[in-house]
Amino acid sequence: MPPSPDARRYAPATERNRQPILAVLQRVLPPTGTVLEVSSGTGEHAVFFAPHLAPRQWLPSDLDPGARASIAAWREAAPAENLHAPIALDAAAPLWPVESENFSDLLSPLDLQQHPITALVNVNMIHISPWAACLGLLAAAGRILPTGGILYLYGPYQQNGQHTAPSNAAFDASLQAQNPEWGVRDLDAVVAAAKVHELALVETIAMPANNLSVVFRAIG
């Protein structure tokens, strides 16, 4: 039985940032293939982005079962031919489900042979997860993406060891009070960790509410 739309979750920031993010994605994503969204959260981004980014396939994912139920409910309420059912994915895991040879048989009707993953998109995750999740995301991007593939990150960052706004400093303090493993990351540290996995920084774009879009390209 399909999930009820009542399972839908809502994130107020999504409605504010989805159009600016989409404008960047339309410009930087490869024109074909599958976009794997890591940590899709409520699913509001997925249902908004997918129809605007066709013919690319959009594969949402999340570690949290409640989030996956919300994504599925949003997908039921606003279906799109290129929007697929969410998969369980732990960004910190050493091997991701999409790397399995029988992924399409076991977990999804999406044929990754026909529509290979050409981009990973991650919005507002690495500051509300342990650093290991960011490292796992970068490592997987290095393994999964073809040469020229794109990793897109969105969220708040420190630059040159400094917060970009007092509001970001306060946000960072509140995150660390909730969980010492969370916090606004220094962009230089993320770029250095990405370089280990042959991901080159292509562009950093200022976004609303003191956030950044950070675009990497696989060069391996």
> pLDDT value at position 104?
72
Q: Which amino acid is at 106?
A: L
- Predicted TM-score (pTM) of this structure: 0.95
In the predicted model, is pLDDT for residue 127 greater than 70?
A: yes
Question: b/e map of 5-25 (b: 16 or more CB within 10 Å)?
Answer: eebbbebeebeebbebbeebb
What tokens were used for 50?
Answer: 């997918």
Q: What is the pLDDT of residue 106?
A: 63
Q: How confident is the model at residue 66 (pLDDT cuts 50, 70, 90)?
A: very high
The Cα 214–Cα 155 span in angstroms is 9
pLDDT at 216 over 60: yes
Q: Find residue 131's DSSP bridge partners.
A: none
What is residue 101's predicted lDDT score, i.e. its pLDDT?
80
The percent of residues above 90 in pLDDT, for the chain, comes to: 90
Distance, in Å, from the CA atom of 120 to the CA atom of 14, rounded to the nearest integer, reads 18
Please check the confidence at residue 85 and state whether its pLDDT lies above 60: yes
Q: In whole angstroms, what is the distance from residue 118 CA to residue 131 CA?
A: 24
